[in-house]
C-alpha cells in the first residue's frame, strides 16, 4: 500500500496564478484533510471531508477550495495564489476506530508563491 | 477553543541521555491525544494514541503517558536516529485534530 500520496512535491507560482494540489489514499478511509504547515504556526487545518460527498471549512479556509472527487481523492485548489500561501501543504486521511480518528499523512507539497 | 502547548521548543541530548517532552492541553471533552514524529522534509508519522488519564503506551525507546492536563513523551537512552520533531495533537468532537507547534529533538552521538 502506498498510503497517502500527493502531487506535485514542489511548485513555484507567481502571484495570481492558480493550481490544484492532488491527494489520493489507498487505505479505504472515509475522512480526508488538508493542512498547511508554517514555521512557528504548527499544522493548521484548511478544509476537511468527513465522508465522500461532504466538505467543511477548517481553521484557515480563505483563498482555498476543495473537491472530494471520490472516496480515494481529495484535491485543494488555489484560485489566485498570494505570497501568504507560501507553505508546505499536507494531505491526511483517517478512519474512525472504536474511540478516535488516527490521521495518516502524505509526504507534502512545498509551494512557493513569488 | 482547544489549545495545545508543547515544551521545550527544542531539545539537544547526548546519545544515551534520557529525557521527556511535554504536551499541555486545554480541550472540552478529550477523545484522544496523539503523538507524531516528523523528519525534515517529510509528513508526520503516527506514533501513539492515548485515550484516558493514566494510560501509557510504549514503542522501542519511546513511552507516552497521559494525565488530565498534559502528556509526556519519555525518551529512554536515545540514539541519533531519534532526532526529529515530535508533534502532539488532541481530538475533541468530530474528526478534527488540534496540533501543537512541536519539539525539535536533536540527539548527538
| pLDDT tens-digit readout, A3-55 | 999 999 999 999 999 999 999 999 999 999 999 999 888 899 999 998 888 99
Percent of all residues in chain A with a pLDDT value above 90, rounded to a whole number:
83
pLDDT number for residue A40: 82
Q: Binning pLDDT at 50, 70 and 90, where does residue B96 land?
A: confident
Judge whether residue A98 has pLDDT over 60: no
DSSP state of B109: -
| Nine-digit cell string for A99 | 474511540
Contact B44 A105 (CB under 8 A): yes
Judge whether residue A62 has pLDDT over 90: yes
pLDDT number for residue B15: 97
pLDDT number for residue A97: 62
Tell me the C-alpha to C-alpha distance, in Å, between residue A15 and each of A18, A39, A85, B14.
Answer: 9, 21, 10, 45
Mean per-residue pLDDT, B4-20? 97
Q: Binning pLDDT at 50, 70 and 90, where does residue A73 land?
A: very high
The mean predicted confidence, pLDDT, of chain B is: 94
Tell me the C-alpha to C-alpha distance, in Å, between residue A31 and each of A2, A16, A43, A66.
Answer: 17, 30, 17, 13
CB atoms < 10 A from the CB of A86, how many? 16
Flag whether residue B29 sits within 8 Å of chain A, measured between CB atoms: no
pLDDT number for residue A100: 63
Determine which of A45, A102, A104, A110 to mutate to test the interface with B (most B C-beta atoms within 10 Å). A102
Percent of all residues in chain A with a pLDDT value above 70, rounded to a whole number:
96
Q: Which residue carries 498534559 as its cell?
A: B70
Contact A37, A43 (CB under 8 A): yes
Contact A45 B96 (CB under 8 A): yes
- Closest chain B C-alpha to A48 CA, distance in angstroms: 8
| Nine-digit cell string for B26 | 486545554
| Nine-digit cell string for B92 | 475533541
- Among residues A96, A49, A40, the alpha carbon closest in space to that of A74 is found at A49
Judge whether residue B53 has pLDDT over 80: yes
For chains A and B, count residue pairs whose Cβ atoms are closer than 8 Å.
57
Contact B95 A104 (CB under 8 A): no
Rounded CA separation B28/B47 (Å): 23
Q: Binning pLDDT at 50, 70 and 90, where does residue B92 land?
A: confident
Amino acid at each position: 500500500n502506498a498510503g497517502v500520496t500527493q502531487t506535485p512535491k514542489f511548485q513555484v507560482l507567481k502571484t495570481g496564478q492558480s493550481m490544484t494540489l492532488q491527494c489520493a489514499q489507498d487505505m479505504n478511509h472515509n475522512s480526508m484533510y488538508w493542512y498547511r504547515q508554517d514555521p512557528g504556526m504548527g499544522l493548521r487545518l484548511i478544509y476537511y471531508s468527513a465522508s465522500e460527498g461532504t466538505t467543511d471549512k477548517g481553521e484557515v479556509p480563505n483563498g482555498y477550495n476543495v473537491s472530494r472527487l471520490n472516496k480515494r481523492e481529495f484535491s485543494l485548489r488555489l484560485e489566485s495564489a498570494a505570497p501568504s500561501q507560501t507553505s508546505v501543504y499536507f494531505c491526511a486521511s483517517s478512519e474512525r476506530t472504536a474511540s478516535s480518528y488516527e490521521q495518516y499523512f502524505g509526504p507534502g507539497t512545498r509551494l512557493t508563491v513569488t | 477553543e482547544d489549545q495545545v502547548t508543547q515544551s521545550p521548543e527544542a531539545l539537544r541530548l547526548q546519545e544515551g541521555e534520557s529525557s521527556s517532552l511535554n504536551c499541555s492541553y486545554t480541550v472540552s471533552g478529550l477523545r484522544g491525544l496523539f503523538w507524531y514524529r516528523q523528519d525534515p522534509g517529510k509528513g508526520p508519522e503516527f506514533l501513539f494514541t492515548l485515550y484516558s488519564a493514566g494510560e501509557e503506551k510504549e514503542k522501542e525507546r519511546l513511552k507516552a503517558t497521559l494525565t488530565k492536563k498534559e502528556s509526556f513523551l519519555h525518551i529512554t537512552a536515545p540514539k541519533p536516529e531519534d532526532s526529529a520533531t515530535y508533534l502532539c495533537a488532541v481530538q475533541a468532537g468530530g474528526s478534527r485534530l488540534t496540533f501543537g507547534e512541536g519539539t525539535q529533538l536533536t540527539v548527538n552521538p
